[in-house]
Structure 1
Amino acid sequence: MLSLSCFSAHLAASECSSSDQSQTNKASDYKTQTPIKHLVVIFAENCSFDHYFATYPHATNAPGEPPFKFKKNTPTINGLQNSLLTANENKVNPFRLGRDQAATCNPSHSYTSIQKCAHAGLMDKFVENDATCGNIVMGYYDGNTVTALWNYAQRFAMSDNFHSTTFSPSSPGAINLISGQTHGTIPGNLVVGSRIYTIQGTLIDDADPFYDDCSKNPKVEMRLTNVGDLLNKKEISWGWFHGGFADCSATHIGSDGKPIADYIPHHEPFQYYKSTSNPKHLPPTSVKMIGYQDQANHQYDLIDFWKAAKINNIPAVSFLKPPAYQEGHPGYSDPLALQTFLVETINKLQKLPEWESMAIFLAWDDSGGWYDHEMPPIINQSNTAADALVSPGNAGQAKPGSPQARLAYGMRMPFLIVSPFAKQNYVGHKLTDQTSILRFIEDNWGLGRIGNQSFDEVAGSLRHLFNFKNPNSKPLILNADTGNSKKNKLRFKKR
C-alpha cells in the first residue's frame, strides 16, 4: 500500500503546483509513420513462449477452471506437440500446470544458466541447469489459467517468433527494450562473490541502477544512449510509469504469502542513465506536465498515468510496469496476478478516447528460465568467462570490435499487440525481438537509431502484425478473474 504521507506529497506536487510550464504538442499532433499516435508498452516478467502458449489454442478445460473455446479459423503456432510432449529430450516431459498451481518457485535464469539449458541448440538441459526449481521448469499453462492472454490472441495479433534480445535476466532485458545495447557499463567488470554482474563493460545480471536513491549495492551506471534521449531530442511526450515508484517502501502480499516491495529498482531501466533518471522519485509538477520535461524527468508512478488519462493527456509513448506482486515474476507473483493487472489496465485503455489511435504491446523482460523448445537464431556471438552455450567460455567468437557478452538472440517469449489496427486472430512468424519494439518507436516518430552497435539496426519489423487499412476499434472487455469475456457467465472455482 502507498503510504499516506508520501501519497499526499505526491498528489500535492502533481496537482497543486502553480509553476506549470507550457506544453508543446499533444501526442495526437505529432507526425507519425503509422496511424498509431499512442503506444502503451506493458512490460511483464519472466516467461518463455512455451510456458504460456505451448498448446495454444487447445486447452484442457478441466472442471472448476475457466473454460476456453477457440475460433475455427485460429492459425497454428510453433508450440509443443507430438514427441515434444511425449518423448522430450529433457529429463522430464513438459507438463500442464493447473490454475491451482499458478504460484511457483523462481527458476534459475542467469545469462550463463540459460545458455547451459539451450545446450548448443539441443534445448535438452533445462532441468539439470536449474538450481532452484528442478522439474517445474518444464511446466506450462494453458487457456484455463492464462485465459485473458489466449483471448487477446484470439481477437488481436501475437508472434510465436519473438525473442529476448540477448540471453539475459531482468535488467539486461529491460535495457535492451529501451536501448538495444547492454554494453557501456560503469564499472566494466563487477563481480560479487561468484556472481558476475558486468563483464568487459557489458551488463549481464541484475545490479541495481546507479541513479536511484532506492537502489542497493551493487549498482551499475549505463553510459550510452536510450530511446528516452531520442524522444527528448524530438520533443515527443513519453514516460515510464512504474507501480510503487512514488513510495519505494510500499509493499503488497505476493503469491508466496510474504510482503514484496511494489517497486524493484533493477526493473526500471531508465534509472541506469543519468540523462533519463529521477533519483529522488520526484513527482511531476502538475498533471499537465506528465510526459513532458520537468523534475520527474519522465519517470513516474503508475497513478500518474491514470491522472494524465483523466484529462486526455497520456504521452505518445508510455511504458507501464506493474507493481511487483502483479508483474508475473515467479516466486512472488504469478500469471493470475498478472492477468488481473492486464485485464484491468487494458479494459480502461479501451475506454479512453485515445483508443482509436492506440497500440498496446504486451511484452516480457526475459524467459525466466522456463522451458522453450525453439533454439533462437544466433546473430551475435560471444566468448567470455560467462558464456557457456557450447562449452565453458564458448558461445562462438565475437566479431572484432564488437562488445562481448551480448549473445543474441535469446529465448522466445510471448508478444501480443492489442489495438484497433492489430490483425485479428493472427499469429506472426517473422523473426523479432525486444528491440523490434524500440525500432517501432524510432520509426513511427522519426527518431533515428540509437547507434553504438545497438541491435535496433537489425531488429525485425512489427508491421506484419498490423492492418492499418481496416481498423476495428470495438473493445474486448474481459473479466479480470476468469480472463473471459464479461458476457460469459459460466461459473468457475476460484483458487
Structure 2
Amino acid sequence: MNPNPIFRWRPVAGLVWLTALSGCVSTIESTTPAAQKIQNVVVIYAENHSFDNMYGLFPGANGIANATAAQKTQLDHDGTPLKELIVFGHDGKPDANFPRMPNAPFRIDAPPVNRPPTQIVPSPIHAFFHNQEQINGGQNNLFAAMSTVGGWTMGHYDGSQFKMWKWAQDYTLADNFFMGAYGGSYLNHQWLICACTPQHANAPESMRVRLDAQGKLLKKDTSPSANVGAVQVFSAGGGQVTPDGWSVNTSQPPFQPSGIAPAPGGDARMANPQGAAGHGQPVPPQTTLTIGDTLSRRGVDWAWYAGGYAQALADGMQAPDVKRRIIYQRDPGSPMFQPHHQPFNYYARFSPGTADRARHLKDGDDFLADMAAGRLPAVSFYKPAGRDTQHPSYTDIMTGDTHLAGVLDKLKASPQWKDMLIIVTYDENGGYWDHVPPPQGAGWSDRWGPGTRIPALLIGPSVKRGFVDSTPYDTTSILKFITQRYGLEPLPGVRSQVGAFKAALE
C-alpha cells in the first residue's frame, strides 16, 4: 500500500510514537501464558462514537480535561476560530431546535442542550475524506467545519449513567484505541476482518469521489463559512470510490441481504449487478485474504453472528418490486438491519450456496443459543442489529447500552466464560470529535488510517481489573491478537507497531 500523498502529519507535542518498518506481524507478545489461557475470543462491534463522546469523563483516562485549548477550539474553513458552535439541520441551515453554544466541547445530556441518552440525536457525517480533513494534520480542529451537522460534533455524554461504564470500571478500558481506517462503518468493518480496503476498479464515474488539485474534498469556492451553514463538498457523502478504484464509503454487497434488490427475473440470492438508485452498483465479490480464511486454514473454528440476519436474508430475497421491511427500515419491529455492516458478505468465498457461508455466517439468535450451550467457536464476531448498535439518527445510545451489557451478562454466565476474552469496541467515531491525534509513522499508519480514537473494553477472567490501558491500539490490534494467539498466517495490512493487548492481560 502506498502512503497517503495528501495527509502526512506529526503527532502533537507530548505524544511520542515509536516507529519501525511496516510489514507483517513479527512480534510474539500475545503468545504469553496469559494469552494462552484464552480459548474463546468474542469481538462485539458497536457503532459510531468517539472515545471523548462516551468516555471523555472517565476517571483516570485520557479524557476531555487533557485536551489543549487548540484541540478544543474548532476552526472555520479559512483557519479562523468559529464564533460559536451551531447545529445544522438536514437543509444545511441552523437548526432552531438546538441552542448556539461557545466554541468548546459540550454535554449533550445537560443544559443547555438537554438531550437525554434515551433520545435519538443527529448523526454527523462519517466518511473517508471528511475524517481526514477533520483531523487536520493531527490538530483535530476541523470537526465542526467539515460536518453536515456543524457544532454537534463536539458533544459528549456523562458516561457514568451507562451500564457499559460499569464494565469498563470493573475490567480494562483502552484509552488509546483508534479506528482502523478513516471514515465510516463500511470501510471499518472491512478493516476488522481483513485490514484491507475493497477494490472496485470498474466503478462508474457516478460512484467516484471528486477532489480538488490538492486532493481535498472541500468545495472552497461555494461552501459557506461554518458560522453560517453546513459544509459543501464535491461529492455528497464523500463519494464511494476513490479516483484510483478503492471502495471507501458505504457501498452494497453483491449478495443478499443487500440494499440493492435482486434483478427482475434474476437470482434472488444476488444483488442486481446493475445497481440501484441511491446505492450505485454493488461491490464486486472480493478475494482478499481475511481473518476467516486464516482461521480456517489453521483449523480454528469461527463465526460471524449478526442480529437480524435471518430476517434480512428473507427480506432481501423478495421480488425487487416488494417493499423491504427489515433492510434499512425503521418501521416498528424492524431490527434496522444494515447490509454494509456485514463484511464477509462481500467475499466470493462466502457467496450464496457455499459451505463456508453456511458454516460461518449466522444469526444473532444463534449467538445467544451457542453461548448458553457453551458451544461458541474459538473466535466469534457479534454484530448487533442496527437498533442495538448505539448508532445516532436511527437508534438511541441507551438502548444499545442495555443490549450490550445484557450480552456481557450472558457471556459471563456461559460455560465458556473462564477461558474467554471479550473485546467490545466501535467501528468508528460517527463523525464525533476526539482530542487525541491518530498515530503516524512507519508501522503505525498508511493511506487508509488509522482514524479517530474510539472506545474499547477488554473483559474476561484473564483481563486486568479496574485498569486503564494506554497502549497504542487500533482495529487491526484485534486481528494481530487473534493471529498470534492461534498461530495464523499474518494479514499484510495489520500494522506492525500496534499493540496486541499484552498490557491488558494478567
TM-score by structure 2 length? 0.69
Q: Which residue of 2 aligns with 1:476?
A: none
- Aligned partners of 1:198 and 1:171: how far apart in 2? 12
Residue 134 (1) aligns with residue 118 (2) = no
Q: Which residue of 2 aligns with 1:121?
A: 138
- Structure 2 residue corresponding to 1:100, chosen from 81, 104, 116: 116
Q: Which residue of 1 aligns with 2:503?
A: 464
Note the 1:403-482 alignment, pairs <5 A: 406-451=447-492, 454-467=493-506
Residue 219 (1) aligns with residue 221 (2) = no
- Aligned partners of 1:367 and 1:196: how far apart in 2? 19
My pick for the range that moved more, 184-193 or 224-233, is 184-193
Q: Which residue of 2 aligns with 1:290?
A: none
Note the 1:67-106 alignment, pairs <5 A: 76-81=60-65, 84=68, 88-90=72-74, 91=82, 92-98=103-109, 100-101=116-117, 102-106=119-123
CA distance 1:455–1:343, shift in 2 (3 Å): same
Residues 160 and 166 in structure 2, CA contact (< 8 A), matched pair in contact too: no
Post-superposition offset of 1:375: 1.3
Q: What letter matches 1:155 in structure 2?
A: D
Q: Which residue of 1 aligns with 2:337?
A: 263
Residues 328 and 337 in structure 2, CA contact (< 8 A), matched pair in contact too: no
- Aligned partners of 1:427 and 1:420: how far apart in 2? 16
- Aligned partners of 2:202 and 2:497: how far apart in 1? 28
Q: Which residue of 2 aligns with 1:67?
A: none
My pick for the range that moved more, 354-363 or 308-317, is 308-317
- Aligned partners of 1:342 and 1:52: how far apart in 2? 14
Q: Which residue of 2 aligns with 1:333?
A: 395
- Aligned partners of 1:87 and 1:242: how far apart in 2? 37
Question: May I ask how many residue pairs the two structures share in their alignment?
Answer: 381
- Structure 2 residue corresponding to 1:229, chosen from 270, 289, 293: 293
Post-superposition offset of 1:185: 4.1
Q: Which residue of 1 aligns with 2:367?
A: 305
Post-superposition offset of 1:32: 10
SS of match in other structure, 1:171: helix
Post-superposition offset of 1:278: 4.9
Structure 1 portions without partners, runs of 5+: 1-30, 58-75, 283-292, 382-395, 399-405, 468-495
Q: What letter matches 1:89 in structure 2?
A: T
Post-superposition offset of 1:88: 2.9
Residue 359 (1) aligns with residue 426 (2) = no
SS of match in other structure, 1:202: coil
Residue 241 (1) aligns with residue 282 (2) = no
Q: Which residue of 1 aligns with 2:190?
A: 175
Q: Which residue of 2 aligns with 1:154?
A: 169
Superimposed CA distance per residue, residues 341-378 of structure 1 (whole angstroms, 9 cap, x where no aligned partner): 11110111100110000011001111111010111122
Structure 2 portions without partners, runs of 5+: 1-32, 75-81, 83-102, 110-114, 209-234, 261-274, 276-280, 316-323
My pick for the range that moved more, 318-327 or 115-124, is 115-124
Post-superposition offset of 1:214: 3.0
Superimposed CA distance per residue, residues 120-157 of structure 1 (whole angstroms, 9 cap, x where no aligned partner): 222111111111x2221111011344x22221111100
Post-superposition offset of 1:84: 4.7
Post-superposition offset of 1:308: 2.2
Residues 253 and 259 in structure 1, CA contact (< 8 A), matched pair in contact too: no
- Aligned partners of 2:378 and 2:202: how far apart in 1? 34
Post-superposition offset of 1:86: 11
Post-superposition offset of 1:240: 0.4
Q: Which residue of 2 aligns with 1:207?
A: 251
Post-superposition offset of 1:267: 0.1
Post-superposition offset of 1:327: 0.5
- Structure 1 residue corresponding to 2:239, chosen from 192, 196, 204: 196
Q: Which residue of 1 aligns with 2:39?
A: 37
Residues 71 and 141 in structure 2, CA contact (< 8 A), matched pair in contact too: no
Larger relative strand fraction: 1
- Aligned partners of 2:469 and 2:300: how far apart in 1? 29
CA distance 1:338–1:85, shift in 2 (3 Å): farther
TM-score by structure 1 length? 0.71
Q: Which residue of 2 aligns with 1:65?
A: none
- Aligned partners of 1:375 and 1:82: how far apart in 2? 13
Q: What letter matches 1:149 in structure 2?
A: M
- Aligned partners of 1:191 and 1:443: how far apart in 2? 42
Identity %: 29
SS of match in other structure, 2:64: coil
